[in-house]
């Protein structure tokens, strides 16, 4: 039986390779479906789902791929919900609540979404991501005042939160506050310059506010707010969790921070930062001259632009990015639901750095995130 299983597996792997090669030359919906089936047969349902996602992005009008992708995503969401609910019981942290709330929201379970957000806010009141999800619910319900309250709180906790700022500006427009909307949009352009969607919204807001629309923006985001003078505003999830919860979470935070510090210690590395799906800093070790929150927002913006368009660029799903500038490099790596960015000098030993990043990746993936 073992030999037969081996032969079957070998045949499936060969089929996978030939389908992948065929997709490179001339992609079709049928090929994506066949490849997804082959991965599923070989027991890799995660890879199968990724293939369907790539196929759906490439052929958004192909009904069978869209249907299969929606099915696969629903199954993934159910599995993820179970996993998160278990983890919240044993190793709670605010990211889990926000993620779980998002999954309920994706399935239209609004009451459970609100309930999860409220529990998350009660347990971790200083994490902006949960207020963002709650704000999104109120936007869907067209409860603009409530939405504004939640989103304002989210932005207060994390002034570089692109999603929260953008949604808040749209809510302000609904509330007849175009000048406030314009201000929030200008704040976004500070760390996401040239963002076409934001520029469009800004133009619309300024027209409604009777303000001139010019290329120069007047972001106030880089100025400290009252009571904040000189202090960096960074949300350290682990640190906040440690203040409120027990040893398990603070141990995780310590391990992530130690991991980031180990990366920083590699010769040629000038800093490292780990951010969650909202761009909020989870762990960081940077030069004191760099605002962690801003660095997190900038990197998230690059990641979001590149990963969101990875299929259009013909690279498949985004895995890593390497930015080379005159005075150094930035390595961006997707790790589970988080993004790692490592800043390094141009002469850093790439082999050593890549090994250190891989070691850190193992640490992150093993963590009860």
Partner 1 sequence: MRDILAKLNKTNGIRGSMIVNRDGIVVASDFSVEVQESSIGAVASSILSALEGALKRIDMGRFSRFIITGSENKLAMVDAGQAILLVLLNRDVNMGMVNVEIKEAASAVREKSKM
By CB under 8 A, is residue 158 in contact with partner 1? no
Subset of residues 68 to 107 that bind partner 1, contact rule: CB under 8 A: none
Q: How far is the CB of 100 from partner 1 (least distance, A)?
A: 26
The span from the CA of 34 to the CA of 31, in Å, is 5
What H or E segment, with its residue span, contains residue 342?
A: strand 338-344
By CB under 8 A, is residue 23 in contact with partner 1? yes
Subset of residues 116 to 155 that bind partner 1, contact rule: CB under 8 A: none
Q: How far is the CB of 103 from partner 1 (least distance, A)?
A: 23
By CB under 8 A, is residue 24 in contact with partner 1? yes
Q: How far is the CB of 275 from partner 1 (least distance, A)?
A: 13
How many Cβ atoms from other residues are within 10 Å of residue 88's Cβ?
Answer: 18
Q: How many residues make up the chain in this entry?
A: 369
Per the structure block, which two tokens stand in for 362? Answer: 């193992």
Q: How far is the CB of 305 from partner 1 (least distance, A)?
A: 5
Nearest to 130 by CA among 222, 104, 107, 233: 104
Query: Which of the stretches 72-80, 112-120, 208-216, 299-307 binds partner 1 when contact is defined by CB under 8 A?
Result: 299-307
Nearest to 272 by CA among 344, 326, 334: 344
Quote the Cα angle for 126-335-346, to 5°.
105
By CB under 8 A, is residue 294 in contact with partner 1? yes
Alpha helix stretches (DSSP H) within 141-195: 144-157, 162-174, 178-191
Exposed, middle or buried by CB within 10 Å (0-12, 13-18, 19+), for 60?
exposed
**Total residues contacting partner 1 (rule CB under 8 A)?**
45
By CB under 8 A, is residue 193 in contact with partner 1? yes
By CB under 8 A, is residue 50 in contact with partner 1? yes
Q: How far is the CB of 327 from partner 1 (least distance, A)?
A: 4
Among 194, 210, 212, 214, binds partner 1 (CB under 8 A): 194
The span from the CA of 104 to the CA of 200, in Å, is 31
The span from the CA of 274 to the CA of 50, in Å, is 24
Among 2, 60, 89, 196, binds partner 1 (CB under 8 A): 196
What H or E segment, with its residue span, contains residue 332?
A: strand 328-335
Q: Per-residue contact track with partner 1, 305 to 334, x per CB under 8 A?
A: xx--xx-xxxxxxxxxxxxxxxxxxx----
Is 111 or 324 the residue whose CB approaches partner 1 more closely?
324
- Residues in contact with partner 1 by the rule CB under 8 A: 20, 23-27, 50, 54, 191-196, 290, 294-295, 298-299, 301-302, 305-306, 309-310, 312-330, 343
């Amino acid at each position: 039986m073992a030999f037969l299983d081996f032969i079957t597996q070998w045949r499936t792997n060969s089929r996978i390779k030939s389908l992948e090669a065929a997709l490179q030359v001339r992609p079709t919906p049928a090929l994506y479906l066949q490849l997804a089936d082959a991965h599923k047969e070989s027991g890799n349902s995660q890879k199968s789902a990724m293939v369907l996602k790539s196929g759906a992005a490439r052929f958004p009008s192909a009904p069978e791929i869209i249907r299969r992708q929606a099915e696969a995503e629903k199954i993934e969401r159910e599995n993820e919900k179970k996993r998160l609910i278990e983890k919240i019981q044993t190793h709670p942290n605010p990211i889990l609540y926000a993620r779980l709330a998002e999954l309920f929201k994706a399935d239209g379970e609004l009451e459970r979404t609100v309930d999860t957000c409220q529990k998350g806010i009660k347990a971790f009141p200083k994490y902006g991501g949960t207020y963002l999800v709650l704000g999104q619910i109120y936007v869907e319900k067209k409860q603009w005042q409530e939405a504004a309250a939640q989103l304002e709180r989210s932005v207060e906790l994390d002034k570089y939160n692109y999603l929260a700022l953008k949604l808040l500006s749209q809510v302000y427009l609904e509330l007849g506050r175009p000048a406030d909307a314009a201000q929030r949009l200008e704040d976004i352009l500070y760390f996401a310059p040239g963002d076409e969607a934001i520029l469009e919204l800004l133009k619309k807001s300024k027209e409604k506010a009777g303000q001139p629309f010019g290329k120069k923006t007047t972001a106030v985001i880089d100025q400290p707010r009252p009571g904040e003078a000189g202090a960096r505003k960074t949300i350290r999830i682990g640190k906040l969790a440690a203040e409120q919860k027990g040893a398990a979470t603070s141990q995780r935070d310590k391990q992530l921070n130690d991991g980031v510090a180990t990366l920083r210690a590699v010769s040629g590395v000038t800093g490292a930062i780990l951010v969650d799906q909202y761009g909020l800093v989870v762990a960081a070790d940077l030069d004191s001259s760099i605002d962690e929150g801003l660095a997190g927002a900038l990197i998230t913006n690059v990641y979001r632009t590149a990963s969101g368009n990875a299929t259009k660029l013909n690279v498949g799903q985004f895995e890593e990015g390497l930015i080379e500038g005159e005075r150094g490099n930035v390595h961006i790596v997707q790790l589970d639901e988080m993004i790692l960015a490592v800043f390094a000098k141009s002469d850093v030993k790439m082999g050593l750095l890549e090994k250190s990043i891989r070691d850190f990746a193992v640490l992150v993936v093993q963590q009860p995130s």
